[in-house]
Structure 1
């Protein structure tokens, strides 16, 4: 993908994201049909489906040679990231959308031959777009985000986490995670993985740690975090697969090794 192609795709994707967000805001108080997927807390609404269908229709019309991975199943069933692939979460933070009518985002990551080229995370209700193109920096609306500080100390870190590390999980030791929470400065939970990534990129939190995310939760965020010098792996420091679920740790690079080592001790 050359620069001109990427710029054209970026501008088109940005336009579609804003249009989709405007539609969500216009219908935010309309009655919703709410269903569950894998469990009672895994929600999907008519707006999730409508928004993803909108993106799929537009992409298929404008870029029929591109592929799509979408949370609600309107895209393609892929076994490779060959070519150009749009990875879309139409509403990341559906529970927040249903219960709070805020703190959710549209997340669009665009990858070419497996490399993240474009990331868009749109905080719909606050009208804030976090966005990046590979090697061109990351932005919050029109303001360029500063590179992350490289001198953050473990004991001063604020880490985005959710409650799932408390559940029975062979990936981590509960007692070690309790020690981890005591050692760092604090934790935050926002209920939207995409926004957690955006906040890491902005430096509002120093990292985000979670046990099980799908590609659409993280595709855009990885591109944005990369552009401010952050890093994203699984909790063992291994490169993520963009075709399956992973544990995820995205953070300020100065913290990565020490935190992974701390968690790893509890797995031995």
Structure 2
């Protein structure tokens, strides 16, 4: 465990450096490319940030494997050993359209178990972090264990993809809650659940880099993070995902089963 705590200062320095690079691009004309669809975009800045992280990891931690959203890392068939999972800009569409509500996310896993996770809300200057068994923090202030609120007692975030593809399901969960919020960044939405602003977040399909850091932080404050059917997250593939307070988690899964 100590080795992961010792990495914290380096990782946070790298994240702040990446944030400076991102902010410096606000006045530039971005090179924007479409990936799977018109809402799934990548910019030259996403790529530059990921490459910057990979160079630093190779320099300080040679031999450790890296999974990155933009494909500059390693190929994976397993999560053996120490694995870094990086999302250079989580919420790229927000970054392009709003210059707001996007995050940098870094996680370190060992043999498939999350050891350290970081979500940096760039424009709010909020660094959410956690080490396994050591609690979760926001800007060095320890986050308390979440209140185990029910679905009706809190707000729930639902991904835009789920809202459009599973309208009935989203309406069902939304009506049972106090209200629905959409941000467009899995990291920030998960951080808001971990800090008690939301009681749950549901997404149709999250990639490993959308999940890895947030899962560590969420579990350190007592949240449950699983696939939407309640089974374990698989960090080698995309997952229909649900993170929520224990009570809300049970209620949402019951609602999803009712929908079927």
Which TM-score bucket, shorter chain as reference? over 0.9
In structure 2, the CA distance between the partners of 1:176 and 1:216, relative to structure 1 (3 Å rule), is closer
- In 2, the alpha carbon distance for the partners of 1:247 and 1:214 equals 9
Query: Could you tell me which residue of structure 1 aligns to residue 237 of structure 2?
Result: 244
Task: From 115, 120, 123, give the equivalent of 1:122.
Answer: 120
What is the CA–CA distance in structure 1 between the aligned matches of 2:45 and 2:163, rounded to whole Å?
Answer: 31
Aligned partners of 1:177 and 1:263 also within 8 Å: no
Q: Secondary structure at the match of 1:178?
A: helix
Q: 1:166 to 1:254 in 2, by over 3 A?
A: closer
Q: Normalised by the size of structure 2, how large is the TM-score?
A: 0.96
Change (3 A) 1:103 1:176: closer
2:132 alignment partner, one of 131, 134, 151? 134
Aligned to 1:51: 49
Q: Which residue of 2 aligns with 1:164?
A: 161
Task: Kindly state the Cα deviation for residue 176 of structure 1 after the two structures are TM-superposed.
Answer: 4.3
Aligned to 1:67: 65
Measured on the aligned residues, the alpha-carbon RMSD in Å equals 1.2
Give runs of aligned pairs for residues 1-268 of structure 1, distance below 5 A: 3-150=1-148, 152-168=149-165, 174-267=167-260
Distance 2:172 2:110 in 1: 40
- Give 5+ residue unaligned stretches, structure 2: none
Q: CA deviation at 1:65?
A: 1.5
The answer to which of 59-68 and 5-14 deviates more is: 5-14
* Deviation readout 1:7-61 (Å, 9 max, x if unpaired): 2222221111111112212222221111100111101001000000000111111
Q: Deviations over 1:89-143 (max 9, x none)?
A: 0000000000111110001111011100001001112211001111111111021
- Length, aligned pairs only: 260
